[in-house]
Amino acid sequence: MILGKTVRRWWVAVALLLAAGAAAASGTNPVILVLGDSLSAEYGLPRDTGWVKLLADRLTAGGAGATQYSVVNASISGETTSGGRARLPALLERHRPAIVIIELGGNDGLRGLPLAAMRANLRAMIDASKAAGARVLLVGVRIPPNYGREYAEGFHNVFHSLARETKVPLVPFLLDGFADSPEYFQPDRIHPNGRAQSRMLENVWPHLQPLLAGRARG
């Protein structure tokens, strides 16, 4: 009888270990999905050196407290808000993220696309992410006044008005603090270099932290 209890305890212990291993193998950590353009896709940088990878490293090192997050970078260089909107449903279905970081719009602005369309696409992505049960962080971008001051200001205001309207946190400007400093950019003066990536993460981190703790829900 005693031996039987010992054997049962042993099997219970083995079952728990196997379950824990299966959970780890299946990647059951809550997911942070980053949907962005070249600013998040490591354009022109060595692999695994962009701000999204730095974010993943910080989370692995315990930057999110007790919760361990997995980061999925679904960013594509050249992506527009319409492209992101089209890709998002499949990404939500596949990864079932706890948090979605939307960093899109820069390519819309550089191409002079209608602001109303950009706004509608961003709103649709926010709504879809929330409907899937994810918390959302919107990342703001500024553009040079190539298409006139009115367009540039309207572009910037889209992010702020959407964040207020949908009650999601906003990173006011991903390149805040160094946008006018050439030493932080690649020769094209559009894409940040390796030196800038940690600063981009520091611009995102204070707005992401409450979401990691589950305190800021849209």
Q: Which domain holds residue 154?
A: 27-212
pLDDT at site 5: 46
Q: How many domains does the chain have?
A: 1
pLDDT at site 145: 84
Judge whether 16 lies within some domain.
no
Confidence class for position 17, pLDDT limits 50, 70, 90: very low
In this prediction, residues 14-23 reach a mean pLDDT of 37
Judge whether 8 lies within some domain.
no
In tens, the pLDDT along 166-217 reads: 999 999 999 999 999 999 999 999 999 999 999 999 999 999 999 998 744 4
Confidence class for position 133, pLDDT limits 50, 70, 90: very high
Average pLDDT across the chain, whole number? 88
Residue pair 82/37 in contact (Cβ under 8 Å)? The answer is no
Tell me the C-alpha to C-alpha distance, in Å, between residue 164 and each of 11, 156, 170, 185: 54, 13, 9, 31
| Alpha-carbon 190 to chain mean position | 20
Judge whether 197 lies within some domain.
yes
Judge whether 11 lies within some domain.
no
Active-site pick, 37, 38, 40, 207: 38
Confidence class for position 12, pLDDT limits 50, 70, 90: very low
Our answer to whether residue 37 is catalytic in this structure is: no
Please compute, for residue 40, the number of CA atoms within 13 A of its CA located in the half-sphere on the CB side.
Answer: 29
In tens, the pLDDT along 71-89 reads: 999 999 999 999 999 999 9
Instruction: Give this prediction's pTM.
Output: 0.85
Our answer to whether residue 188 is catalytic in this structure is: yes
Q: Tell me which of 18-22, 46-50, 103-107, 175-179 is least confident.
A: 18-22
What CATH number corresponds to the domain at position 96? 3.40.50.1110
Confidence class for position 146, pLDDT limits 50, 70, 90: confident
Judge whether 36 lies within some domain.
yes
pLDDT at site 214: 77
Judge whether 1 lies within some domain.
no
In this prediction, residues 120-148 reach a mean pLDDT of 95
Judge whether 153 lies within some domain.
yes
Between these two residues, 190 and 28, which has the higher pLDDT value?
190
> Which is it for the CA torsion 194, 134, 63, 160, positive or negative?
positive
Confidence class for position 65, pLDDT limits 50, 70, 90: low
Give per-residue burial for 10-34: e unless 16+ CB within 10 Å, then b.
Answer: eeeeeeeeeeeeeeeeeeeebbbbb
pLDDT at site 27: 54
Active-site pick, 48, 161, 188, 198: 188
Judge whether 19 lies within some domain.
no
Active-site pick, 70, 77, 191, 207: 191
